[in-house]
A and B are shown apart, each in its own frame.
Chain A
Amino acid sequence: MERKIRVLIAKPGLDGHDRGAKVIARALRDAGMEVIYTGLRQTPEQIVSAAIQEDVDVIGLSILSGAHNHLFPRVVELLKQSGAENVLVFGGGVIPEEDIPFLKSKGIAEVFGPGTPTSKTIEFIRANLKRPLN
């Protein structure tokens, strides 16, 4: 039997823009994935321990308030510390293109900005899972 893809969609920091994160969560569900949404104001620590307990394949981070350079890398770092490197971490939101190389160098697999079709996000997940589905 094939495993379901499990995804944690998280809003790190104080940012309250959740329209995009909720749209993504729903689109992933409609693509057959199991999505855990943690709500607003999550610390990287909370996100990582939820990801581990939920044994997700993917963490999707959403930030529109500009704190991405601070918060995204922290999540990857904590995952490493917990030995959970096989979780795919990517993100989206309002993130200047010039910040993307830095985020990628910190282990964020991809960053999707405004106007990205959710189908692209779905494809990206399917193509980049770090664990096989069966």
Chain B
Amino acid sequence: MYDLIRRCIEGDVRAVARLITLLESGDREAYAALYRLKDHAGRAQVIGITGPPGAGKSTLADKLIAQFRSRGLKVGVLAVDPSSPFSGGAILGDRLRMQGHATDPGVFIRSLAARGSLGGISKATHAAIRVLDAAGYDIVLVETVGVGQSEIDIVRVADMVVLVSVPGLGDDIQVIKAGIMEIGDIFVVNKADRDGADRVVREIRAMLELQAQLKRGQTPEGGPDTLAARAPEFLHHTGLAEGWQPKAGNESGAPGEKESITTPKPGVLPEAGTVSAALVNQEAGTISAALIIPPVLKTIAETGDGVKELADAIFSHFETLSRTGELERKRLESIRYQLGQFVSNEIVHLMSLPELAAAQDELAHKVFSRKMDVYSAGIALFHTIIEQGASHEHPQA
């Protein structure tokens, strides 16, 4: 295991691939050894791509890889597809669209089956990200299962989420359901070659503004004079809008954001340290997510139109995230979540050990014969678990 980890850190592709396999199959030794990666991790920028099935996530990922490569960055991709609920098997189809990068040594693509997880990524995704990070991939793209409404786990593992939608999904924009809207840092309306893309863009923007207003009303920093409310104005005056909005009249014409030029739309917050630094400081000091209104971009993933602008937006958003401390907050939040996950996984694991299974069985019988009630039995079991857990040998030690 030590050797495998060392080779991963050196960027050995086979070792990376093998370690991910071990993590996927829940190998405890492998998880325990992950701590050795810690000095090498934390550098990668983790980008989630999510959205309804067939929205073009993989195609977009394929084109984004090319963008990142042209900027000299190494890219790791984790593409999650659903597992069959019947057989537990899976056909992992995302790679198909990215297979053009298969032989590029600066690109590593790995398909993961969801294996029963419902949140759009698999259990091992978080750990696999850390492995790619440590192996020297500058960017880690995570494509979620295209399941529609519930793939919110991605916010727990990614620094930033690109939410992809498409025109023509029906009367209401599918992605814009409660909850889903919240997770997007950047909104992409893909398949802009189809009718109705502009309408979707407008609707998403309207929703985002509404959302921001609601937040302003609720948060203590709120009020009409906050940065968020004035962000459009800033963008307009500082020209920062260019940072994420594609220029009008690009060659194909299709995904150009003509509209955004005439009516500048809210975008990312001006960075601290630029014109707006004073304002940032003037505010409470921390900038909450509520104040960053996500950009909305149009792309045609199939031809690559608008993808360069998307990559630009991703980078500029990263900068904003780190300047505003938002990145730190998100990562901390994610760690907290992972800790929670780890603990509950650990409890599940402990409960599967024979000693505890026996204890559980015994308690169940007691409840059944009405010697105990289920709640006190539960508490008793919990205490046994805790005791057992403390004495249980952990491979990490």
Residues on A facing B (Cβ under 8 Å): 1-4, 6, 25-26, 28-39, 42-43, 45-46, 49-50, 52-55, 82-84, 134
Contact = CB atoms under 8 A, between A and B. Distances in A.
Contacts of B90: 29, 34-35
Contacts of B358: none
Interface string B1-23: 00000000000011001101100
Contacts of A33: 89
A3 B27 CA distance: 9
Nearest to B14: A52
Nearest to B26: A1
A60 B24 CA distance: 22
A55 B18 contact: yes
Contact of A32 (B18, B89, B95): B89
A36 B109 CA distance: 12
Interface string B29-41: 0000000000000
Interface string B91-105: 111011001001100
Contacts of B14: 52, 55, 82-84
Contacts of A25: 91
B88 interface: yes
Given A36-B111, A38-B96, A54-B95, A4 B17 contact: no
Given A3-B21, A52-B17, A54-B111, A46 B99 contact: yes
14 contacts: A3-B24, A4-B115, A29-B87, A34-B113, A37-B92, A38-B95, A39-B99, A45-B102, A46-B103, A50-B95, A54-B92, A54-B109, A55-B14, A83-B14
B128 to A, nearest CB: 11
B108 interface: yes
Given A1-B25, A54-B111, A55-B18, A42 B99 contact: yes
A28 B96 contact: no
Contact of A4 (B20, B88, B99): B88
B110 interface: yes
Given A49-B103, A84-B14, A30 B89 contact: yes
Given A34-B92, A35-B90, A53-B108, 4 more contacts: A3-B21, A25-B91, A50-B102, A50-B109
B89 A35 contact: yes
A83 B14 CA distance: 9
Q: Looking at B13, B89, B99, which has the most chain A CB atoms within 10 Å of its CB?
A: B89
A53 B13 contact: yes
Contacts of A50: 95, 99, 102, 109
B84 interface: yes
Contacts of A31: 87, 89
B87 A30 contact: yes
Nearest to A36: B92
Nearest to B21: A55
A39 B62 CA distance: 15
A54 B87 contact: no
In the A-B complex, the 5 residue pairs with the smallest Cβ-Cβ separation, listed nearest first, are A55-B17, A29-B89, A1-B26, A3-B25, A46-B102
A109 to B, nearest CB: 20
Nearest to B94: A36
A13 B372 CA distance: 68
A53 B16 CA distance: 8
A35 B103 contact: no
Given A46-B103, A53-B108, A54-B110, A29 B91 contact: yes
Contact of A49 (B84, B89, B93, B102): B102
Nearest to B108: A53
